[in-house]
Amino acid sequence: MSADETRTTQPDCDVVVVGAGFAGIYALWRARQRGLRARGFERASDVGGTWFWNAYPGARCDVESYNYAYFFDPEIVREWDWSDACAAQDEIQRYLRFVAERCDVVKDITFDTKVLSARYDETAGLWSIRTSGGETVVCRYAILAIGALSDPKAPDIEGVNEFAGEAYYTSSWPKDGSAVLHGKRVGVIGTGSSGVQAIPEIAKIASEVFVFQRTANYVTPTRAGPMDPKLVAALRKDPQATRRAFRDTYGGHIPLDMGSERFSELDDSGRERALLKAWAGNYIALAFRDAYLPEANAAISEFIRQRMGEQVTDLWTAEHLVPWDHPYGGKRPCQSDVYLQAFNQPHVHLIALTETPIERIVPGGITTTAETIPLDVIVYATGFDAISGPVFAIDILGMKGQSMKDTWADGPVNYLGTMVQGFPNLFLPSSAMSPSVLSNMATLAEQQIDFIFDTIEWLDQHGRPRLHPRPESQRHWREETLRYAERRPGALTTKSWYSGANIPGKPRVFMVYCGGFQRYNETCYAELERGFPGYEVMGSP
């Protein structure tokens, strides 16, 4: 290890892995399997990534746990018992700790340490990774497994620092029990997945809850509940087959149920019957085999709006909790069995910011255009600078001193969602232009880390050249991402964090590849099998 950032002639290790969530843990294990020397850095005090930080009350995965898990090791599949079909945050974090210990990678990770910068030395073909602990580690391959939703959005509201009460963020909820909301007047800003999950829990203990909603969201029932023992037995029988099967799906997971009929082939009564069945079975998003068609999506959206409205007793509140401005799936839809009903309690109040926007936060509460609401606590559930935010949080300089910030000034560019031209041997799993947040992130973590380590193996077998995408490959990939986004209802017309619209001044680029997991996986491996024609392979340093 070197204290001198400029010394890059000899690597301290083969691989540096930044982040210890799903992708980072698996990356360290893969490095070990290949006999590579690896160092991991994690800014938290434990593994978990997103699941470490988002410890707010009610935090839960909305992908079923049998899908949202590792499958690389059949023993892990057989040893871990999920207590719930959709596990809560603390259980997922315990699971990730279990896997990290089982794989013996905890000792490779330096915790409580941020990576500040990554600098590429073109002559040596090595990366220098500088940390908040004052260390500089030189490596051949850098893997930034930093997640897509790990850079909280700073609240863009006047007076945030003037509030005299307590303020908490769902994205960094205190784990020491110091957030005491019992009997308090609590304001919650934000009604995305985090707000929707947290609000009913906060309502159980607060004396008054004021929900500041800028945009209403689709809320459908969850699949939480006990795991089906037959399903558990089936998964344990052949985990490797399950793993392969996941990669051959559109979303990287196998839904329990989905509609068997096509919207386009049904008459009105058939459509209504299919929608009712899907709602009862909790698979409304997949009510039809062709649910991706705009007409099918419109029918699903309208059906959900009706079901949502029925659950809320007060007419004004019901009308304002129902999303009218975007189709289902345009924004990340939410799941909850108790959110809408929470507003039927007399102490839970909806403040519709479409009618009475927040003017500013004042020492005693929140002032809207209509009134000042006195508060003891403000909970910010205001989301993240998604996908590109975590990348910008590290000062990354590639070839010719080119910075990632400049390279992505007009929005992210990369090839196959993992590598950027001018940044050789730097890998960005879970980042832009991959199936990322529109797929099963656990399957994606395994797929991308496999692809990255299969790429590293290829490089090692070919004299360790340096690899980065060709500019034309990046242009092609951006066009492909846009082409598939155009087919997704609401993707390009809705203001969502998928396209950076939640961050003032952020370029509006749809950042998720919607061509499907199977196509994505096959495209990645076609590159590898053909010797990386879409990349520039530069000779050994």
What size, in residues, is the chain? Answer: 541
CB of residue 305 to ligand NA7, shortest distance in Å: 17
Residue 307 CB neighbours (<10 A): 18
CB of residue 370 to ligand NA7, shortest distance in Å: 15
Beta pairing, strands 358-362 & 365-368: antiparallel
Specify whether the CB–CB gap between 383 and 170 falls below 8 A: no
- Burial letters for 405-442: b for 16+ Cβ neighbours within 10 Å, e otherwise? eebbeebbbbbbbbbbbbbbbbbbbbbbbbbbbbbbbb
How far apart CA 426 and CA 120 sit, in angstroms, is: 9
* The two structure tokens encoding residue 18: 């930044």
CB of residue 53 to ligand NA7, shortest distance in Å: 11
Binding mask 288-327 toward ligand NA7 (x if CB under 6 A, else -) reads ----------------------------------------
Burial bucket for residue 369 (CB in 10 Å: 0-12, 13-18, 19+):
exposed
> What SS3 state is found at 441?
helix
Choosing from 223, 332, 468, 478, the residue that interacts with ligand NA7 (CB under 6 A) is 332
CB of residue 239 to ligand NA7, shortest distance in Å: 25
Choosing from 24, 190, 516, 534, the residue that interacts with ligand NA7 (CB under 6 A) is 190
Choosing from 149, 352, 397, 438, the residue that interacts with ligand NA7 (CB under 6 A) is 149
Q: How many helices (H) and strands (E) does the chain have?
A: 16, 20
193 binds ligand NA7 (CB under 6 A): yes
68 binds ligand NA7 (CB under 6 A): no
Binding mask 215-254 toward ligand NA7 (x if CB under 6 A, else -) reads x---------------------------------------
Residues whose CB is less than 8 angstroms from the CB of residue 4 and which lie 6 or more positions away in sequence, other chains included: 136
Specify whether the CB–CB gap between 188 and 210 falls below 8 A: yes
Task: Considering only residues 377 through 416, tell me which ones interact with ligand NA7, judged by CB under 6 A.
Answer: 381-384
Task: Considering only residues 83 through 122, tell me which ones interact with ligand NA7, judged by CB under 6 A.
Answer: none
Choosing from 128, 194, 368, 521, the residue that interacts with ligand NA7 (CB under 6 A) is 194
214 binds ligand NA7 (CB under 6 A): yes
Residue placing its CB nearer to ligand NA7 in the complex, 193 or 455: 193
CB of residue 407 to ligand NA7, shortest distance in Å: 25
Residues whose CB is less than 8 angstroms from the CB of residue 89 and which lie 6 or more positions away in sequence, other chains included: 51, 54, 55, 56, 59, 60, 61
Stretch that binds ligand NA7, among 31-39, 152-160, 279-287, 481-489 (CB under 6 A): 152-160
Residue placing its CB nearer to ligand NA7 in the complex, 296 or 351: 351
497 binds ligand NA7 (CB under 6 A): yes
* Helical packing angle, 517-529 and 441-461, nearest 10°: 0
Residue 385 CB neighbours (<10 A): 21
Stretch that binds ligand NA7, among 23-31, 208-216, 251-259, 320-328 (CB under 6 A): 208-216
Residues whose CB is less than 8 angstroms from the CB of residue 530 and which lie 6 or more positions away in sequence, other chains included: none
Stretch that binds ligand NA7, among 109-117, 184-192, 399-407, 448-456 (CB under 6 A): 184-192
> What SS3 state is found at 499?
helix
Residue placing its CB nearer to ligand NA7 in the complex, 416 or 437: 437
Residue placing its CB nearer to ligand NA7 in the complex, 259 or 417: 417
191 binds ligand NA7 (CB under 6 A): yes
How far apart CA 374 and CA 377 sit, in angstroms, is: 9
Contact residues: ligand NA7, CB under 6 A? 149, 155-157, 170, 189-195, 212, 214-215, 332, 353, 358, 381-384, 437, 497, 502
